[in-house]
Amino acid sequence: MNALSVHKQYSLRQHNTLGFDQLAEHFVVASNDQQIEQAVALAHSNKWPLRVIGEGSNIVLTQDIPGLALHLGDDTIHYDATGTAHQTLVSVGAGANWDHLVHDTLLHGLNGLENLSLIPGTAGAAPVQNIGAYGVEVKELIESVRAFHIGSQQWHEFSKDDGDYSYRHSMFKKNTGQYIISKVTLSLGQQHALKYAYKDLHSYLEECHQMPPTPQQIRDAVISIRQSKLPDPDLIGNAGSFFHNPIVSTQKSAALKQAHPKLPVYPVDTQSAKISAGWMIDSLGFKGVKQHGVGVYEKQALVLVHFGDASGERIIELANQIIDRVQERFGVQLHIEPLVI
Ligand code: EPU
């Protein structure tokens, strides 16, 4: 059995896409189930709190991490040999880069993930916040999730229903810090109808005369749209959308729409509707604002950015100013989407 190598006072700058320079008191990489168990035992015997850090694309570090930060190293992708082009189970190690997985599955002729192209982060993080973009959420493709429960030190295989997935939420997010996800199994294949009704995606494909599109054309379009609106974390620190799009009652959304006819409103069900946080923030004039080394991205008001020399606290200050102004103007409470540590 391979011994774990423990790094002390390890900089997490390369492990969070906002690029905040906080330290982990201890840092290890676990590349298989046995090493995950060893890491948990190590934390347990030293009474260290334990936290999983993937690519850190959905966290805001406002302080150093005490105890043990665990990074998952398994990035293997396994295609079920009994699968067909119509339905194949694909199991991916939690440490795999998400977009590499999307690219690889399309190369294998399996569609389903194309709308989720270029989302930063690891495969293991995808179920936690039920990543979604351009009309697709990963919950639609998840078959099961293998995870280690830290408290009882037991392995579990969670079915799609056990995951209790909803908009940017899941059982794993509700129980943050209790599970270590080691593998995600997705059900992919040609039977997944392609989805391209999302406004920006549809217009882009139409303009490129790619109707009906292939899965690869959808991937290319999503990449191009994302690159035009969202900052590349390698160039400007960011964690994607910094706020959820709030879900309000249909009554409230109708009143808001009457007062602000341009506000984008997306019906969720008969009772509720999602409203565009980006539009509200934009209309308050925040787009492109810069203060104390952080700011609001100039092309997408829902994305907060870090220019390289600030702390996580600064971005939370800016987020709170935005939350207050949106509450004041629209009577709507915004919630921060990434996990604030
Ligand atoms: N809008 C503005 N100004 C802005 C931003 C948005 O007016 O600065 C309005 C526009 O009318 C635009 C509409 O809002 O048409 C929707 O904007 P966009 O398509 O960029 O989507 P979003 O609601 O701002 C959500 C997700 C993104 C995802 C996109 C595409 C959340 C919190 N965010 O953003 O996810 O990529 O839809 O599906 O649901 C993420 O979660 O990190 C993320 C990037």
pLDDT category at 3 given cuts 50, 70, 90 is confident
pLDDT more than 90, % of the chain = 96
Mean pLDDT of all residues in the chain?
96
Over range 258-267, report the average pLDDT.
96
> What is the atom index within ligand 1 of the atom nearest the CA of 337?
32
Quote the ligand 1 centre to 244 CA distance (angstroms).
10
At the topology level of CATH, where does 7-72 sit? 3.30.43
Q: Look at the domain 77-188 and name its fold.
A: 3.30.465
Confidence (pLDDT) at 133: 97
**Partners of residue 266 on adjacent β-strands:** 274
128 CA distance to ligand 1 middle (Å): 20
Average pLDDT over residues 244-257: 97
- Alpha-carbon gap, residue 263 to 138, rounded angstroms: 26
Nearest residue (CA) to ligand 1, atom 29: 133
User: CA–CA separation, 301 vs 13, rounded Å?
Assistant: 24
* Residue 309 DSSP code: S
Tell me the CA–centroid distance for residue 308 and ligand 1, in Å. Answer: 24
**Ligand 1 mean position, distance from CA 199 (Å):** 11
**For the chain, domain boundaries:** 7-72, 77-188, 237-340
Task: Identify whether 168 is a catalytic site residue.
Answer: yes
Q: Considering the candidates 168, 219, 226, 314, report the single residue annotated as catalytic.
A: 168
Tell me which residues have their CB closer than 6 angstroms to ligand 1: 133-134, 200, 229-230, 240-241, 244-245, 264, 276, 278-279, 282, 287, 300-302, 337
Contact 139, 130 (CB under 8 A): yes
Model pLDDT, residue 161: 95
Q: CA-CA distance, 133 to 114, in Å (whole number)?
A: 10
* Under 8 Å between Cβ of 89 and 160: no
Confidence of residue 2 (pLDDT cuts 50, 70, 90): low
Concerning whether 298 is annotated as a catalytic residue, the answer is no
In this structure, which topology does domain 237-340 adopt according to CATH? 3.90.78
Question: 75-120, pLDDT tens digit by residue?
Answer: 999 999 888 878 899 999 999 999 999 999 999 999 999 999 999 9
List phi, psi (to 5°) of 45: -70, -25
Average pLDDT score over residue span 63-83:
96
For 178-214, what is each residue's pLDDT tens digit? 999 999 999 999 878 899 999 999 999 999 999 999 9
Q: Residue 265: which residues within 8 A CB-CB, separation 6 or more?
A: 253, 256, 257, 273, 274, 275, 276
Question: Which of left, alpha, beta for 153 (phi over 0: left; psi -120 to 50: alpha)?
Answer: left
1 pLDDT tier (thresholds 50, 70, 90): low
Closest residue by Cα to residue 24 from 15, 36, 32, 33: 15
Q: Which of 57, 117, 182, 241 is catalytic?
A: 241
| 241 tagged catalytic | yes
Cα(208)–Cα(111) distance, integer angstroms:
21
